[in-house]
Amino acid sequence: MASRLSHIAKISDFLRKHKLSVTESRKQILKLFIEQPGALAHADIEKKTGERFDRVTIYRTLQTFLEKGIIHSIPTSDNSVLYALCKENCSEGRHVDHHIHFICTICQNTYCLDETNTPDIKLPKGYRLNRLEVVAEGTCKNCI
């Protein structure tokens, strides 16, 4: 219980550190991201919070977290938006995510492979690269 309390205290501190006021929805949603190994969709968050928060609140919370560099979005081939926690290097306005994403076609979970950096790509002449998004699809280590 002490650890649980300090956990929640840490979540509040984390929000304050990012210059966000500490509200129930922000605490709950951030907690979900911290406890979750994979990425979350808007619908997941709605369910996992027991539909306690309005849909709009969840949309706005995700938007805020994105802007503050707390989470990043992951594009998927079936065109659903997923979100996952950023590591240390992201900040307000600037996302520095150079890792690739892995979607397991068995368990449907999506993971940030933080240890696997995006590769160097040689583009044809005349193209200037700003950002590279790599999404791998296959079977994860739990489902293999």
Partner DNA sequence: TTAATTTTGCAACATAGTTGCTTTTAGATA
Partner DNA sequence: TATCTAAAAGCAACTATGTTGCAAAATTAA
The residues binding Mn ion (CB under 5 A) are 84, 112
Q: Is the dihedral of CA 10, 11, 12, 15 positive or negative?
A: positive
Is there binding between residue 106 and DNA (CB under 7 A)?
Answer: no
Return the residue of 81, 87, 91, 108 that touches a copy of itself, per CB under 8 A.
Answer: 81
Neighbours of 142 (CB within 10 A): 11
Report if residue 122 touches a copy of itself, rule: CB under 8 A.
yes
Contact characters 66-105, DNA, x per CB under 7 A: -------------xxx------------------------
d(CA 110, CA 73): 11
Q: Which stretch binds Zn ion (CB under 5 A): 49-57, 64-72, 123-131, 132-140?
A: 132-140
Contact (CB, 8 A) for 61 and 29: yes
Question: Which is closer to a copy of itself, CB of 16 or CB of 55?
Answer: 55
- Cβ neighbours of residue 37 closer than 8 Å, sequence gap 6 or more: 109, 111
